[in-house]
Structure 1
Amino acid sequence: MSRPVIGIIGNSHLINDSYLVQAAGDMNMQAVREVCDALPLIVPADPDMVDINDLLCACDGFIFPGGRPNVHPEEYGEDATPAHGDFDRGRDRVALPLIRACVAAAVPILGICRGFQEINVAFGGSLYPEIRDLPGRDNHRMPPDGTIEEKFAMRHTITFTDGGVFHRLMGKREVMTNSLHGQGIKVAGPRVVIDGTAPDSTPEAIHIADAPGFALGVQWHPEYQAGLDMVSRPLFEAFGQAAAAHAAGKRAPMRKSA
């Protein structure tokens, strides 16, 4: 039987400052192929190139990965400021409605970093433009210098809700993760359940209440060494199993009525 197909939402990128492409990180594609046992497929973050219904038919799950541009604050009713950084309106117009459609149709989704924030915004939440500027909060941004290993090094603990979705998934209430984000949840959407926080109270793990399928988001980057990390692997395995189950349901032959 063929593997499930997992769409990875692309990010617009200029090669040599002139040639526009849609790109996805190798780390995410490797996690999909090696841990989810699925086929990674880059989805253009351009509403002129994709149709939500076509995507739901083509893919058995979606990853909404990190990206340098941020969700535009107009999407949660605020004005843009220099602190909000750069934007990718094309990705906003693909990711946000696709997240809502996936949850409604029980198509598995996993939000990572920006994708975590997209899930919150898609369900009516808002974001802080810069976590490190808030009183009592830590600097969660990527270290400006160093090797890839140093940038993705473990930075802080995350504590999950006792008996919650992530506690059950990980088998423990506290884990260590990396930290490479500037923005974060300000107000959680009405259906967004904060299921894990950093020591400074920054939300780091969420799920959608009453979602009929897998609908989780994490603020850290589990794609780094996903096959080896004891926090990343169960997350991607569970997501892959959900995508495989969704694919099996789509492939199952329809029963003839008596």
Structure 2
Amino acid sequence: MSVPLTASKIPAKPVVLVPACNRMLGHHPFHIAGKKYVDGVRLAQCQPLIVPSAEPDEIEALLDIADGVLLTGSPSNVHPRHFGEAVLDTTLPLDEQRDAWTLLLIPRVLARGIPLLAICRGAQEANVALGGTLHQAVHAVPPHQDHRADDSQPVEVQYGPSHDVLVEPGSLLDRITGEPRFRVNSVHGQAVNRLAPGLRVQARAPDGLVEAFSADAPGFNLCVQWHPEWQAASNPISRQLFGAFGEACAAYRDRHRPPPSA
């Protein structure tokens, strides 16, 4: 039996669900979430809640306690069967356990107007969940450049700025940053091919690749292909993105779970 939140039980900060990835460590399966994403949620002045996985009938209950959702990046790719293709490179990791529930989660998040911030894999799964497709190897599709990181370089170089993004005038990203273009890091082999119906481009790379998009849905939602969570506290653009997300989560919380009066 669920117990409704009383004023004294309302969280001081908005609660942001962070779906976990699945990884074998030794002989045992683990649910994991990158610390940098959790730190990004905290930078947004929100309370992160890592969710290992969920059955379809558990999703609504999770969303009942959510003021926001952050979909993380991951070494794994969305399984291409979800957009009608076979696996192109069998050496690349997949995470079908994550696919199984996040692809159901995303439309429900948007339908409720719960703020959504999706990063890298998270952006890719958002596009797929809503009916879009992906390039499995964007570097092999002219005229696109190679957006993968050089694994021989230190992580600071891999996640360092690599190219500009060109922001769509009048878009949500334009309103958040006030910048027509800025440099981002690029650490991905897959990317948006066909954008799902109802999604709107927010920014592109110089080679035309979709780098950010949002859905025509109530509430704040932004999906980005780069990694704003990397050293976010020292990056002005990242601080603006997480700040806007956090403000949206707080506004959602206040509409649905008003804070106790002083």
Q: Confirm or deny that 1:7 pairs with 2:17.
A: yes
Distance in 2 (alpha carbons) for counterparts of 1:38 and 1:135: 41
Report the alpha carbon displacement of residue 86 of structure 1 after superposing the two structures with TM. 2.6
Match of 1:27 in 2: 36
Report the alpha carbon displacement of residue 148 of structure 1 after superposing the two structures with TM. 2.2
Distance in 1 (alpha carbons) for counterparts of 2:220 and 2:91: 30
Report the alpha carbon displacement of residue 131 of structure 1 after superposing the two structures with TM. 0.6
Identity %: 35
Match of 1:175 in 2: 182
Report the alpha carbon displacement of residue 42 of structure 1 after superposing the two structures with TM. 0.8
Give SS of 1:187's match.
Answer: coil
Instruction: Answer whether contact 1:47 1:90 (CA < 8 A) is retained.
Output: no
Report the alpha carbon displacement of residue 80 of structure 1 after superposing the two structures with TM. 2.5
Ranges in structure 1 where 5+ consecutive residues have no aligned partner: 254-258
Report the alpha carbon displacement of residue 49 of structure 1 after superposing the two structures with TM. 9.2
Select 2:248's aligned residue among 242, 246, 257.
Answer: 242
Give SS of 1:78's match.
Answer: coil
Match of 1:58 in 2: 65
Distance in 2 (alpha carbons) for counterparts of 1:83 and 1:129: 11
Distance in 2 (alpha carbons) for counterparts of 1:30 and 1:50: 29
Report the alpha carbon displacement of residue 83 of structure 1 after superposing the two structures with TM. 6.1
Q: Confirm or deny that 1:125 pairs with 2:135.
A: no
Distance in 2 (alpha carbons) for counterparts of 1:84 and 1:246: 41
Which runs of structure 2 are paired with 1:84-95 in the superposition (5 Å)? 85-95=92-102
Report the alpha carbon displacement of residue 89 of structure 1 after superposing the two structures with TM. 1.2
RMSD: 1.7
Ranges in structure 2 where 5+ consecutive residues have no aligned partner: 1-10
Which runs of structure 2 are paired with 1:134-153 in the superposition (5 Å)? 134-153=141-160
Distance in 1 (alpha carbons) for counterparts of 2:102 and 2:139: 26
Write out per-residue CA displacement over residues 113-145 of structure 1, whole angstroms, 9 at most, x where no aligned residue: 000111111111000100111122111012212
Aligned length: 249
Aligned AA (1:18)? H
Match of 1:36 in 2: 44
Q: Give the TM-score taking structure 1 as reference length.
A: 0.92
Report the alpha carbon displacement of residue 50 of structure 1 after superposing the two structures with TM. 7.6
Select 1:77's aligned residue among 84, 99, 104.
Answer: 84
Q: Confirm or deny that 1:213 pairs with 2:219.
A: yes
Write out per-residue CA displacement over residues 205-255 of structure 1, whole angstroms, 9 at most, x where no aligned residue: 10002x1011110000000111110111111001011111111122139xx
